[in-house]
């Protein structure tokens, strides 16, 4: 492609690098075999500056113009890698909220219930709160206290005051804008771009 500059990056919709072009996937090249391209890129995308250098890696990324963003003032440094494909939220980033949990103990019997200090008949309003610790556990709710394992009907689920899932893990979620997958390629064989300065 005679009308392209060495180091120029283009997007192609046909899934392979045309002759004289290389995929922008961070691959490592030898300086000896790619001197003109190395003279333009140097090791700003990786490499040891002695024998090898890396191409830009645009897998899962979009190019952004270098400089300061006018709305936010954020500086985008040339050749820097910024952002991530997934994000794991912290407890501080999650909005504070609560869920109502209504429970009633049957007055028919209190047999089998674990006593709570200070509660009449071993039954008290703090049965649920007493179970709430930093460790997730199953909270069982019954229509009446069970007399045997065959009488038991569990209505509960894992409940915890801690942030995350019932297993106490916090999973990352995708952080990608809508996208259409194509290929970015960099020109290796073309016209050398002369710096006018």
The whole model's pTM is what?
0.61
Residues 50 and 52: their CA atoms lie apart, in Å, by 6
Please answer whether residues 187 and 4 qualify as being in contact, where contact means their C-beta atoms are separated by less than 8 angstroms: yes
Q: How far is CA 168 from CA 86, 90, 159, 160, 186, in A?
A: 19, 13, 10, 8, 45
- Helical ranges in the chain per DSSP H: 35-41, 127-131
Report pLDDT digits (tens) over 61-96. 889 889 998 889 889 998 998 888 888 887 777 777
CA 51 and chain centroid, separation: 35
Q: What pLDDT, on the 0 to 100 scale, is given for residue 138?
A: 52
- Strand pairing category for 21-23 and 183-187: antiparallel
Backbone dihedral region for residue 42 (phi beyond 0: left; psi -120 to 50: alpha; all else: beta): left
Q: Between β-strands 173-174 and 86-87, what pairing exists: parallel, antiparallel or unpaired?
A: antiparallel
In terms of Cα–Cα distance, which of 75, 14, 78 is closest to 45?
78
Q: Is the pLDDT of residue 176 over 80?
A: yes
Give how far Cα 120 sits from Cα of 82, 90, 106, 125, 146, Å: 61, 41, 14, 10, 19
Give per-residue pLDDT as tens, 19-52: 999 999 999 999 999 999 999 999 999 999 899 9
Exposed, middle or buried, 124 (CB in 10 Å: 0-12/13-18/19+)?
A: middle
Lowest mean pLDDT of 46-60, 111-125, 165-179, 181-195, name the range.
Answer: 111-125
């Amino acid at each position: 492609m005679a009308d392209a500059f060495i180091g120029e990056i283009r997007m192609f919709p046909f899934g392979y690098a045309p002759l004289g072009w290389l995929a922008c996937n961070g691959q490592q090249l030898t300086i000896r075999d790619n001197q003109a391209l190395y003279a333009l890129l140097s090791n700003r995308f990786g490499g040891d500056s002695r024998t090898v250098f890396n191409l830009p890696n645009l897998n899962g990324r979009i190019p952004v113009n270098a400089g300061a963003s006018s709305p936010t003032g954020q500086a985008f440094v040339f050749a820097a890698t910024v952002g991530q494909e997934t994000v794991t939220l912290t407890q501080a980033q999650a909005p504070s909220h609560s869920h109502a949990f209504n429970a009633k103990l049957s007055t028919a019997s209190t047999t089998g219930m674990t006593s709570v200090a200070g509660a009449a008949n071993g039954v008290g309003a703090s049965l649920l709160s007493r179970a709430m610790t930093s460790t997730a556990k199953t909270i069982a709710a019954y229509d009446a206290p069970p007399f045997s394992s065959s009488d038991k009907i569990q209505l509960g689920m894992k409940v915890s005051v801690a942030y995350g899932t019932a297993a106490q893990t916090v999973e990352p979620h995708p952080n990608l804008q809508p996208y259409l997958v194509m290929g970015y390629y960099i020109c290796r064989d073309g016209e050398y771009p002369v710096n006018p300065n």
